[in-house]
Amino acid sequence: MSGARDQIMGQVRRALGRAEGTDDARARDAVDARLKEPPRGLIPARVRGREAEELGRLFMEKALAANCTCATVDSLEAVPDAIAEYLASENLPATVRTGDHPDLAAIPFDRRPVLTVSRGPSDGGDAVSLSTAFVGAAETGTLALVSGPGTPTTLNFLPETEIVLLRRSRIVGPYEDIWTHLRARNAEAGSMPRAVNLITGPSRTGDIEQKIELGAHGPLRLHILILDDL
């Protein structure tokens, strides 16, 4: 196996004019510099230099265009009612599977006893999940969710209905700003999370005669609760 590696690398180096023993310090410096301080590319004008209010509006507009539904809550206390109302309006069971991320743990579900709440990853038997977003990118109404002890990845894909809590203070403009937050988090945690899921609307497929249908393998519905914390 190391034979394969050496042979492939040898051929790549020869083709690039960097045979064994040649001085490739300049190439190495270029690579080190790019990895150490990743240059920011061209940021689309729609998210360049925008105020928080504009970004919030754009996020919602783009999320709706991607077949999400959105609602706003002004505190964690208001979340149980908002969820109960949403589930009732969609004729869905009042049962929610969620994680124990601090924001999710702080929601006072006991004030709305009609909701049955359980915590942990999904085994495929849950109709509705509640997750919390790491950040949201207004550019395309995209949610970024990271895996971790309180945020199981299975909640994002197995239930037919996914509800995601997103703090307004965590709505950024371009994808590059997701990376800014992620790199800060990684510096603290010591490594990347196992999974970063960028989610833009519910699951869909166009594989049968190019007709777009929602709910292929992942959620059929994606409902975003924006927590107004600004």
Partner 1 sequence: MQATSTRFKQNAREALDDPQLQQALTKMKAGFVERRARARADLPEFDALRDQARDIKNHTIEHLDLYLERFEANVTANGGHVHWARNAAEARERIQEICRSVGARTVTKGKSMISEEIALNDALEEDGLEVVETDLGEYIIQLRREAPSHIIAPAIHVLKEQVADDFRLHHVQFDKARPLNEPRELISEARQVLRRKYLESDVGITGANFLIAETGTSVIVTNEGNGDLTQTLPKIHVVIASLEKVVPTLDDAAAILRVLARSATGQEFTAYTTFSTGPRREGDPDGPEAYHVILLDNGRSAMLGTEFQDMLRCIRCGACMNHCPVYGAVGGHAYGWVYPGPMGAVLTPSFIGVDQGGQLPNASTFCGRCESVCPMHIPLPKMMRHYRAREYEQGLAPPATRFGLDIWGFVATKPRLYRLATRLAVGLLGRLGRARGRLAKLPLADGWTRHRDLPAPEGRTFQDRWDAMGGAR
Q: Give least dist CB 81 to partner 1, A.
A: 27
Residues 6+ apart with CB under 8 A from 167: 103, 133, 226, 227, 229
Q: SS3 of 98, please?
A: strand
Q: Give least dist CB 29 to partner 1, A.
A: 10
* Nearest residue (CB) to partner 1, 29 versus 229: 29
Q: Give least dist CB 212 to partner 1, A.
A: 9
* Nearest residue (CB) to partner 1, 1 versus 114: 1
* Contact (Cβ atoms closer than 8 angstroms) between residue 67 and residue 221: no
Residues 13/19/23/28 CA torsion (nearest 10 deg): 10
Other C-beta atoms lying within 10 Å of the C-beta of residue 103: 17
Q: Give least dist CB 49 to partner 1, A.
A: 14
Q: What are phi and psi of 95, to 5 degrees?
A: -130, 130
Compute CA distances 39 → 30, 64, 137, 176, whole Å: 12, 31, 19, 10
* Nearest residue (CB) to partner 1, 21 versus 149: 149
Q: What are phi and psi of 116, to 5 degrees?
A: -95, 120
Q: Give least dist CB 216 to partner 1, A.
A: 4
* Nearest residue (CB) to partner 1, 70 versus 218: 218
* Nearest residue (CB) to partner 1, 4 versus 114: 4
Task: Indicate the length of the chain as a whole number.
Answer: 230
User: Residue 98's closest CA among 85, 88, 113, 83?
Assistant: 83
Q: Give least dist CB 143 to partner 1, A.
A: 11
Residues 6+ apart with CB under 8 A from 90: 161, 221
* Nearest residue (CB) to partner 1, 38 versus 81: 38
